[in-house]
Structure 1
Amino acid sequence: MAISLTKGQKIDLTKTNPGMTKVLIGLGWDTNKYDGGTAFDLDASVFTLNASGKAGSEKDFIFYNNPKNENGSVVHTGDNKTGEGDGDDEQIKVDLASVPANVEKISICITIHEAQERNQNFGQVSNAYARIVNEESNEELIRYDLGEDFSVETAIVVAELYRNNGEWKFSAIGSGYKDGLNGLVRDFGLA
């Protein structure tokens, strides 16, 4: 049974699951009825960050057009352009044991593609969540439902995996950005 977290909560991941090295990060969402006539395209992405909270290069930004980091320890499994259907809309696989030593945090984000042009924001998105699954056993370990806290934001830092004393932990962040992907790229040192 998965542990459900709320915004701001943190939990051990590898300490409570000894021997687990491969996790799947599942992200999902629904869009509310929207009369603008333009389809929503939400995108999951990951930034691998150093101890200063910055990405070393553009290769540390993993998304549908750059599907894996340099050593292949973080892999985006593909772009879902509609978000229709049940279950995860997009997924990222992480081999925790192979993540480069200089990576202290793995920041998990969702952005709305062309949000400004399409006049869209997270106030029109519901049932957004992130979950961590043990890839080997397919057991859902952690679930974080974002709730309906957003209105004008076009990007969200959903959660992060981070190292602490040689173990990996999960933190439910839920922090929104009004300036979308540009804000994320700026704050993570790539702008």
Structure 2
Amino acid sequence: MRDLQLLKGQKVDITKGNGVRDIKILLRWDTDHNGISVDAAAFLLSAQNRCERDEDFIFYGNPESRDGTVTHAAAGKNVESLSISLSGIPEQYARIAVTLTIYEGEQQNLRMKELSGLQLLLMDRKNGEELYRFDYGADLSDETAVVAGELYRHQGEWKFSAVGSGFDGGLAALCKNYGLEVEQETDSEAAATAELAERVGLVEKADKVEKVDRVDRGDKVEKGEKAEKAENVLPQTASAVPVNVLSSIDLRKKIVGYTLVKKQLTDVKARVGIVLDITGSMRNLYSSGVVQEVVERILAVASLMDDNGSLDVWVYDTEFSRLPPVTQQDLGSYVFTHIMNNDSIHKFGRNNEPPVMEDVIQKYTREEKETTPVFIIFINDGGVVKPTKKVIMAASPLPIFWQFVGIGDSDFEVLKQLDTMGGRLVDNANFIHLDRIEEVSDEQLYDQLLNEFPQWLKAAKAKRIL
């Protein structure tokens, strides 16, 4: 009987003598670290062990090779897959390196020792038979990337080598090793994030302000004019800003698109809403422009998932207000116009979550009753009242998923209990803590926001909620 378990350094035949032509590789891992983001990828390599074109790097941002023989997909929580048609791989490719990396591991001081249960499963796609498995990573510590294994040609057949070798320097180091030219990071979403950071007005300095097309945000900047002061870039003011808001949204939509591919959500449509805490402790985040940027970042999600491309908005303290939806066209001064400069909104009081949550339920299940799922992102900086749990429990039979985002340094005692709270038809809520949301990259933010949504969709369909 053939031993399925491989040891590090072992080499085995894949195609020779057994008729296997199409395979699937599953890469699995476990972690107790909520903030870590892990990505699988494949490098299609020439005989010189080089990735000759950027298109030969297959990952969730480029999920299919040009000829369709190699595809990447998310396959569940903490598992990603690579499907490979070995018989169709062009002759120019001699090897395929299968890798796992921690996103921004070096920057965030996240290492391979944060992961456990690292496993590679190699399966026959035709019949689902498991061919081999490789448990690795026990010897990894401070690395941020690992080459799990390699497929390679040998005398006209394909073999597999169990590698399990770690890399310092993350994805950038891997790309450099395989001949791809990089600056700081190489994957497409990181490049988009870097470009966005250069262009978003909140971080631009006055001496970097360039000529921009006409932007209407109260005052108007004609093409060719320059802003005179850095203060003018703050989005909570009604003055013109030296940034094309639609361009920054387009960049963020691109990153959301990559995340939807990774989470297998590209065909999912959902009504998207945001609930914003406007209690007293949030005052500085509104005045500094952080909330305006949060709205923009979430609008990018709604732009791709919601049929009408708009984001429904609520704010609350002891009272709540349901606001007009935000779109790309009116994003520029939304927080200033509809919240800060709106005297009808009760602001900077204490927390009281249940009333605003009940209004969310009212809108989507009675006023606008549809079969489309609802994805609510609930921003809060602490002090959530305990009856919130009762509303979540009562709402579990409804087509609404609540993604709570805790910002700041509160203990979030109530929200932390959501994952273990019993008595619900399905687990309809998730909580993530982002101490300084303005410092979290877009890629990491979208990855965490959408992490539990696919599991809820599956459970809700099984219970006929959707």
How far, CA to CA, are the matches of 2:3 and 2:92 in structure 1? 30
Q: Which residue number in structure 2 is paired with residue 7 of structure 1?
A: 8
How far, CA to CA, are the matches of 2:37 and 2:75 in structure 1? 9
What secondary structure is seen at the aligned counterpart in 1 of 2:179?
Answer: coil
The code of the aligned residue for 1:3 comes to: L
> Is the Cα contact below 8 Å between 2:23 and 2:125 reproduced in 1?
yes
1:14-163 mapped onto 2 (5 Å cutoff): 14-18=15-19, 20-31=20-31, 33-34=32-33, 38-78=34-74, 83=78, 89-163=79-153
TM-score (norm 2): 0.38
Please list the CA deviations of residues 22-63 of structure 1 after superposition, one character each: whole Å capped at 9, or x if unmatched.
1001000001x34xxx52111000000000100110011000
Identity across the alignment (%) = 38
Please list the CA deviations of residues 73-118 of structure 1 after superposition, one character each: whole Å capped at 9, or x if unmatched.
00002386x52xxxxx000100001111110000000000121232
The code of the aligned residue for 1:186 comes to: K
- Structure label with greater radius of gyration: 2
Q: Per the alignment, do residues 106 and 39 of structure 1 end up closer, same or farther by CA in structure 2, a change over 3 Å counting?
A: same
The code of the aligned residue for 2:52 comes to: G
Q: Which moved more, 1:115-124 or 1:151-160?
A: 115-124
How far, CA to CA, are the matches of 1:48 and 1:2 in structure 2? 28
Count of residue pairs brought into register by the alignment: 180
How far, CA to CA, are the matches of 1:25 and 1:4 in structure 2? 14
The answer to which structure has the higher strand fraction is 1
The code of the aligned residue for 1:5 comes to: L
How far, CA to CA, are the matches of 1:100 and 1:145 in structure 2? 30
How far, CA to CA, are the matches of 1:44 and 1:125 in structure 2? 14
How far, CA to CA, are the matches of 2:38 and 2:156 in structure 1? 33
How far, CA to CA, are the matches of 2:153 and 2:75 in structure 1? 28
Q: Per the alignment, do residues 182 and 67 of structure 1 end up closer, same or farther by CA in structure 2, a change over 3 Å counting?
A: same
The code of the aligned residue for 1:12 comes to: D
Q: 1:146 Cα deviation (Å)? A: 0.4
Q: Work out whether 1:176 is the aligned partner of 2:177.
A: no
How far, CA to CA, are the matches of 1:149 and 1:54 in structure 2? 26
How far, CA to CA, are the matches of 1:2 and 1:73 in structure 2? 28
The code of the aligned residue for 2:159 comes to: K
Q: Which consecutive residues of structure 1, in runs of 5 or more, have no partner in the other structure?
A: 84-88
How far, CA to CA, are the matches of 1:46 and 1:16 in structure 2? 25
The code of the aligned residue for 2:179 comes to: G
What secondary structure is seen at the aligned counterpart in 2 of 1:59?
Answer: helix
How far, CA to CA, are the matches of 2:74 and 2:60 in structure 1? 6
Q: Which residue number in structure 2 is paired with residue 86 of structure 1?
A: none
Q: 1:4 Cα deviation (Å)? A: 0.7
Q: 1:148 Cα deviation (Å)? A: 1.2
How far, CA to CA, are the matches of 1:120 and 1:42 in structure 2? 10
The answer to which structure has the higher helix fraction is 2
Q: Displaced runs of 4+ in structure 1, greater than 6 A?
A: none
How far, CA to CA, are the matches of 2:84 and 2:18 in structure 1? 15
What secondary structure is seen at the aligned counterpart in 2 of 1:77?
Answer: strand
Q: Per the alignment, do residues 2 and 92 of structure 1 end up closer, same or farther by CA in structure 2, a change over 3 Å counting?
A: farther
How far, CA to CA, are the matches of 1:53 and 1:129 in structure 2? 24
How far, CA to CA, are the matches of 1:2 and 1:78 in structure 2? 28
Q: 1:2 Cα deviation (Å)? A: 6.1
Q: Which consecutive residues of structure 2, in runs of 5 or more, have no partner in the other structure?
A: 182-466
Greater relative CO, 1 or 2 (CA 8 Å, sep 6+): 1
> Is the Cα contact below 8 Å between 1:2 and 1:143 reproduced in 2?
no
The code of the aligned residue for 1:29 comes to: W
> Is the Cα contact below 8 Å between 2:137 and 2:164 reproduced in 1?
no
How far, CA to CA, are the matches of 1:17 and 1:158 in structure 2? 23
